[in-house]
Amino acid sequence: MLASLLRMPAERLQKIIAAAGIASRRKAEELITGGMVSVNGQIVTELGSKADPALDHIKVAGKPLRGPERQVYLLLHKPKGYVTTVNDPEHRPTVLDLVPGVGARVYPVGRLDYLTEGLLLLTNDGNLAQKLTHASSHVPKTYLVKVSGKPTPDELDKLRGGVFLPPETKPLKTREGQEQKRRSHAVRTAPVRIELVRDSANPWYEITLIEGRNRQIRRMFEQVEHHVEKIKRVRYGPLQLDVEAGHFRHLTNREVAQLKAAAEAPKPVSKRVHTKVQLTAERPHDKTRTRPRGQHRDGSRGVKRQSNRKP
């Protein structure tokens, strides 16, 4: 009876393995389907299987599973020339090379491409990372962007309102550096905020997005025939870039709480939805009616019946 009262709710095996710091959740799923995980002596290969780490004996590759790691949250200033993966098959430097000795196996939250610098989050909190990178997340991310050539006001308004991005065909790389087929199709970007911060022949803009599509800013400007020369992410939700390139710091408890609150914030409603509702609510004939209901054009009232008899 006491054991049942103390028993914690069962959790998915891949979540338990990821929390122990052995692998990412995706890699943990591969370990399960590959027959490398056992619970109470029984091999488990079905994704979605649950266990209680406090009472069940879980082994990965024959070794007992340790308890969950201490959660770590890092803010890194990623320099150009580093890839946002755990391993790179081309043996380029990765962002994990910049965070040695943190005492936990951390993973990057989202991506900054090879030539982009700026604020990058790393953590071993799989739940938070999943919420921040999910398609329904609308945590604002702000970038400083240098553009080759000066876009016209009409081109900037087009970008602000959203543009269609063509499908991508280049294979997608996982955080472990493996390539997988990209499921890509033409998409329309959400509205963005664009403010001029330095006017010149090749101006700088401050751009804030509420989504995180692959190479989104570069692909957006390609649609108005402008090349992006430099990108630097300076804000991520409540966090602001405040360390030098190549350096990192731990988030404070208050920053972690603010970041979790931002990840839980409800999805904003599109203005276009409001417009549609308003247009359907106001029917034109309600405004143009000039005679009382039930009155015919000749001024008479009542139901007019049409006779089928011949004269």
- Could you count the other beta carbons within 10 Å of the beta carbon of residue 69? 17
Query: What pLDDT is stored for residue 201 in this prediction?
Result: 96
- Residues 186 and 135 both lie in one domain: yes
Alpha helices in the chain (DSSP H): 2-6, 13-19, 25-33, 126-133, 153-161, 216-222, 253-264, 271-281, 284-288
- Residues 60 and 83 both lie in one domain: no
64, 98, 116 - which closes a domain:
64
Give the E-state strand segments of 48-203 in sequence order. 50-51, 58-60, 63-64, 73-78, 107-108, 117-123, 141-148, 164-165, 172-173, 179-180, 187-188, 193-198
The first and second tokens of residue 155, run together, are 């081109």
Length of the chain: 311
12, 42, 64 - which closes a domain:
64
Q: Is residue 11 helix, strand or coil?
A: strand
Is 283 contained in some domain?
no
CATH (domain of 245): 3.30.2350.10
- Residues 152 and 259 both lie in one domain: yes
The total number of structural domains in the chain stands at: 2
242, 264, 286 - which closes a domain:
264
State the residue range of the domain holding 107. 73-264
- Residues 105 and 246 both lie in one domain: yes
Q: Are 131 and 137 in contact (CB under 8 A)?
A: yes
- Residues 209 and 177 both lie in one domain: yes
- Residues 47 and 130 both lie in one domain: no
Residue owning tokens 């390609």: 222
Is 244 contained in some domain?
yes
- Residues 13 and 89 both lie in one domain: no
Q: Tens of pLDDT along the chain (311 residues)?
A: 334 434 456 888 888 888 777 777 888 899 999 999 999 989 999 988 998 877 888 999 988 887 767 899 999 999 999 999 888 888 999 999 999 988 888 999 998 999 999 999 999 998 899 899 887 788 999 999 999 999 999 999 999 999 998 887 766 666 555 666 666 678 899 999 999 999 999 999 999 999 878 889 999 999 999 999 999 999 999 999 999 999 999 999 999 999 999 998 766 544 433 333 332 333 334 444 445 555 555 555 555 555 455 54
Query: What pLDDT is stored for residue 182 in this prediction?
Result: 60
Is 162 contained in some domain?
yes
Q: Is residue 155 helix, strand or coil?
A: helix
- CA-to-CA separations, 169 to 185, 186, 228, 237, in angstroms, rounded: 9, 11, 20, 30
CATH (domain of 16): 3.10.290.10
Is 196 contained in some domain?
yes
**Inter-helix orientation angle 126-133/253-264, to 10°:** 50
Is 301 contained in some domain?
no
Is 277 contained in some domain?
no
Query: What pLDDT is stored for residue 53 in this prediction?
Result: 78
- Residues 143 and 224 both lie in one domain: yes
Query: What pLDDT is stored for residue 248 in this prediction?
Result: 97
- Residues 123 and 176 both lie in one domain: yes
Query: What pLDDT is stored for residue 10 in this prediction?
Result: 80
Query: What pLDDT is stored for residue 167 in this prediction?
Result: 82
Query: What pLDDT is stored for residue 11 in this prediction?
Result: 85
What residues are labeled active site? 113
Query: What pLDDT is stored for residue 184 in this prediction?
Result: 66
- Residues 152 and 57 both lie in one domain: no
- Residues 225 and 89 both lie in one domain: yes
Is 307 contained in some domain?
no
- Please list, in sequence order, all residues whose beta carbon lies within 8 angstroms of the beta carbon of residue 82, skipping any fewer than 6 positions away: 92, 93, 94, 95, 97, 98, 114
Is 109 contained in some domain?
yes
Query: What pLDDT is stored for residue 57 in this prediction?
Result: 87
Q: Are 203 and 221 in contact (CB under 8 A)?
A: no
- Residues 147 and 260 both lie in one domain: yes
